[in-house]
Amino acid sequence: MAGERILVVDDGQENRDFIVEYVLQPYGYEALTARDGSEGLKLIAEHKPDMILLDYQMPRMNGVEMLQHMQEMGYNIPVILMTFYGSEEVAVEVYRLGVQDYIAKPFTVEEMIVAIERTLSNVRLIREKDALTERLIAANRELQSRLQELNVLHSVGKSVTALMSIEELLPRIVDAAVRLTGADEGYLHIVVQNHLLCQAMKRGGQQRAEPANFEANDAAAMRVVQHGQPVLRSGSGNELSFAYAPLVLRDEIIGVLGVRARQRGFSKHQTALLSTLTDYAAIAIQNSRAVEQLRQQKENEKGRIRTLFQRFVPPQVVDQILENPDLLRLGGNRREITILFTDIRGYTAYSEKLPPERVVEMLNDYLSLAANTIMSYGGTLDKYMGDGIMAIFNAPNELPDHVQSALEAALTLQHATRQLAGQRGDGLSFSTGIHSGEAVVGYIGTDVAMNYTAVGDAVNVAKRLQEAARPGQILIEEHTVARVSDQVQVQALGELKVKGRQQTAIVYELLNVQVS
């Protein structure tokens, strides 16, 4: 490979002409000549030669002095020293000053060409190495840039698949757009009824993009919506450069993602990255809409389930199951509760005289009154039993004053029943039994049919108390009285033999409760 620039520094005109005419020019080298070291230094500063052919003995500045100046000035140019036979020790001495080879005068063309090519081959290798290093550094820099872009896109993609809220996700997409394009500002607009609504934005000075909600007056963005194609403009002077890309969902343009910058334009590669982000944004918006639709469907379904099952299952239990469906399994937990049984007295005789339709009407009136009263005091309706009701206090929701709540509910029901009976003229009333104690509360039954109920001795005692109560009477056991002795007015009735139970119950009639 010829074409290198070679400086010949020699005080002999004939020697300079010989080298130029017979060595350098025939082999395609560019030649520069100087008569001494001083001229040589000037030409080095002006033309930056690739190699120097340097004579040792010259006037004004000899070869050694020139080499010393080159070393001081930081010139790293390969030098071939030209010296006469017998001066080899001089050549050895100047190697430390940057000389790479020497040739003895007189020399032939072939000898000089061999020396030049030998020296330039090292130079060429070094240059190739430097060029390869530069290309490697540039390629590595480009690779790092692409890796950063992939990391940004991967991060956005993970956010999309994580089904984050749209208020969190859209600002992330705008941040990614600004970062990938090196822009100053970024915007994401959504099409709403032929208008653009800005949903996320990052302006100059902001650390991160933020959610937004205002109508965007952006002609370029609207042009993207109308034509469905990206728009790119490189501004000059104080004009803004911008790039916009459409958000497309099922062939419908649903929005625009755009970036702006003042001191620079945007490349086609950056615009392509912007288009990639619009795909993420469109998917995110689709996911968000699907999630919202699913949430609404779920709420509607929960509403239908609640409305349907509250007719058969206590409302508190329905809410609990809807919040945590895993709770709907057979089994229960031991806890202290208060159980209330109430039953319509005179029902059998009354129903015997009336048609079934009137009987059903009567049952609905009295049982609705009982159910509403019990629930107003925090009780849970366990079940309807013909003309009676079983209710639980302190399950499934905790009710700290469950004993007093049950007693107040029974008294309120007693007064309300008198009023209803007077209005209807049927003279019916409830007999009520109340007892407190530990029971297992949960789902009892089989895999195909189960009830939320309570099981235990306390339940049996409450039921027997109700059966023993006269019309309009509320019976409670001494354990319950002891819990609220300073808040109730009672009348002792003595012992009651409880069917199926060895121990008798000490029974009291509830007369009044001091309301807390």
Residue 54 contacts residue 80 (beta carbons within 8 Å)? yes
CA 157 – CA 147 distance, rounded (Å): 15
Instruction: Give residue 141's pLDDT.
Output: 73
Instruction: Give residue 458's pLDDT.
Output: 92
Domain locations in the chain as residue ranges: 5-129, 163-291, 323-513
| Residue type at 93 in one-letter notation | E
Q: Strand 231-233's sheet: what is its strand order?
A: 210-215, 195-202, 185-192, 252-261, 241-249, 231-233
Q: Terminal CA-to-CA distance of the chain, rounded, Å?
A: 108
Checking if the pLDDT of 312 tops 50, the result is no
Checking if the pLDDT of 451 tops 50, the result is yes
Checking if the pLDDT of 335 tops 50, the result is yes
Task: Work out the pLDDT band at 372, boundaries 50, 70, 90.
Answer: very high
Q: What is the mean pLDDT of the chain?
A: 84
The single residue listed with the structure tokens 């080159």 is: 70
Cross-strand partners of 384? 389
**CA-based nearest residue to 433, from 364, 351, 496:** 496
> Which residues have a Cβ under 8 Å from the Cβ of 330 and sit 6 or more positions away?
442, 443, 444, 445, 446, 447, 450
Instruction: Give residue 498's pLDDT.
Output: 79
Indicate the SS3 state at residue 83: strand
Q: For 203-267, give the DSSP string.
A: -TT-SS-EEEEEE---HHHHHHHHH-S-EEE---TTPPEEEEEEEEETTEEEEEEEEEESS----
Q: What is the pLDDT of residues 392-422, one digit of tens each?
A: 999 888 899 999 999 999 999 999 999 999 9
Instruction: Give residue 462's pLDDT.
Output: 95
> Which has more pLDDT, 88 or 263?
263
CA 473 to chain centre: 62
CATH architecture for segment(s) 323-513: 2-Layer Sandwich (3.30)
For the chain, the residue count is: 516
Q: What is the pLDDT of residues 18-70, one digit of tens each?
A: 999 999 999 999 999 999 999 999 999 999 999 999 998 888 898 888 999 99
Instruction: Give residue 394's pLDDT.
Output: 93
Mean pLDDT (whole number) for 124-136? 79
Instruction: Give residue 499's pLDDT.
Output: 78
Instruction: Give residue 169's pLDDT.
Output: 81
Mean pLDDT (whole number) for 265-275? 79
CA 206 – CA 354 distance, rounded (Å): 80
CATH T-level fold of 5-129: Rossmann fold (3.40.50)
Instruction: Give residue 109's pLDDT.
Output: 92
Checking if the pLDDT of 154 tops 60, the result is no
| Residue type at 62 in one-letter notation | N
Mean pLDDT (whole number) for 96-125? 86
> Which residues have a Cβ under 8 Å from the Cβ of 89 and sit 6 or more positions away?
none
Instruction: Give residue 448's pLDDT.
Output: 61
- If one counts every other C-beta atom within 10 angstroms of the C-beta of residue 12, the result is 15
Reported as half-sphere exposure (CB side, CA atoms, 13 A), residue 129 has a value of 6
- Cα distances (Å, whole numbers) of residue 52 to 43, 87, 121: 11, 19, 14
Tokens of 125: 């290798």
Cross-strand partners of 365? none
Instruction: Give residue 38's pLDDT.
Output: 92
CATH of 163-291, one of 3.30.450.40, 3.40.50.150, 3.50.30.50, 3.40.50.720: 3.30.450.40
Tokens of 497: 């033999």
**CA-based nearest residue to 24, from 61, 58, 50:** 50
**CA-based nearest residue to 408, from 463, 361, 460, 340:** 340
Q: What is the pLDDT of residues 421-431, one digit of tens each?
A: 999 888 899 99
Run of H or E including 160: helix 109-161
- Which spans in 310-456 are helix H? 315-323, 347-353, 356-376, 402-424
Q: What is the pLDDT of residues 456-511, one digit of tens each?
A: 999 999 999 999 999 999 999 999 999 998 899 999 999 988 777 788 899 999 99
Residues of the chain above pLDDT 70, percent: 85
> Which has more pLDDT, 273 or 449?
273
Task: Work out the pLDDT band at 148, boundaries 50, 70, 90.
Answer: low
Residue 156 contacts residue 277 (beta carbons within 8 Å)? yes
